[in-house]
Amino acid sequence: LHLFSFLDKNSRKSLAKTCHKLLEVFQDPLLWSLLNFHSPAELKKDNFLLGPALKYLSICWYSERVKVCNIEDWMKNSFQKDFCNRHENTVNDFLLEVCNRCPNLLSLTLSGCGHVTDDCILLLLKNCPNLMTLKLENCVRITDQTLEAVMLFGGSLQTLHVDFCRNVTQTGLEKVREKCPLVMLRAERSASMIPDNKPEKKLMLEKASRKFAQL
């Protein structure tokens, strides 16, 4: 187990194929308390085990292609939509597996996961009651609904980051600070960013602003 702990997932899988004894080590839950992924494609590989021993999970995608996922859905062209359709549900589906199989999760970090939804984070908070750290960065579909889920189900949460999540509002952040004063909250460049609004919504907001100015 100690030797396996120095290897990446692919190397562990390769070594496990050499003999039955090493396969048993590969399948030992103690080896899989921490998992790091660097792209959605890695989530579909058969080179790791997902189970109740998992404590620390991170999915961080820093590719240039993340920018495509961050474009508002109503602004994407057909090529961009096709690109997103190939992996749109990959991270959400994986996190649902985590909800069902990893109740002892303590820490989750998601970066560049532009398709992760509030509903998915809500289920994770419900099913992983011991979660202490939740770090979300550049997850554009995350809104104040996630903040509300934190207030309802994040009883063990100690650290919450929602950096560069443009659809999180200042009002939502203030509620978390009020209801969960012990949670270390960070929201770098989130509430100050321009949220997603369809053109008709923007037009209504502009009209409302003009009426307010007239009054």
Nearest Cα to 26, choosing from 16, 18, 17? 16
Q: Is the pLDDT of residue 1 over 80?
A: yes
User: What CA–CA distance (Å, rounded) separates 170 from 137?
Assistant: 16
Take residue 205 and report the two structure tokens written for it. Answer: 């907001």
Same domain, yes or no, for 6 and 43?
no
SS3 155: coil
User: What CA–CA distance (Å, rounded) separates 113 from 178?
Assistant: 28
Same domain, yes or no, for 69 and 166?
yes
Model confidence at 196, pLDDT cuts 50, 70, 90, reads confident
Same domain, yes or no, for 11 and 24?
yes
Same domain, yes or no, for 115 and 166?
yes
Same domain, yes or no, for 65 and 160?
yes
Take residue 136 and report the two structure tokens written for it. Answer: 């979300």
- Residue 193: half-sphere exposure toward Cβ, Cα within 13 Å: 19
What's 147's domain CATH number?
3.80.10
Number of domains into which the chain is organized: 2
Q: What angle do CA 168, 171, 176 make, to 5 degrees?
A: 85
Q: Is the pLDDT of residue 82 over 90?
A: no
Q: What percent of the chain has pLDDT over 90?
A: 74
Same domain, yes or no, for 18 and 79?
no
Per-residue pLDDT tens over the stretch 139-177: 999 999 999 999 999 999 999 999 999 999 999 999 999
Alpha helix (H) residue ranges in the chain: 9-16, 20-26, 66-69, 78-85, 90-101, 118-127, 144-153, 170-179, 199-214
143: containing domain: 33-210
Same domain, yes or no, for 114 and 197?
yes
List all residues 6 or more positions away from 21 whose beta carbon is below 8 Å from its beta carbon. Answer: none
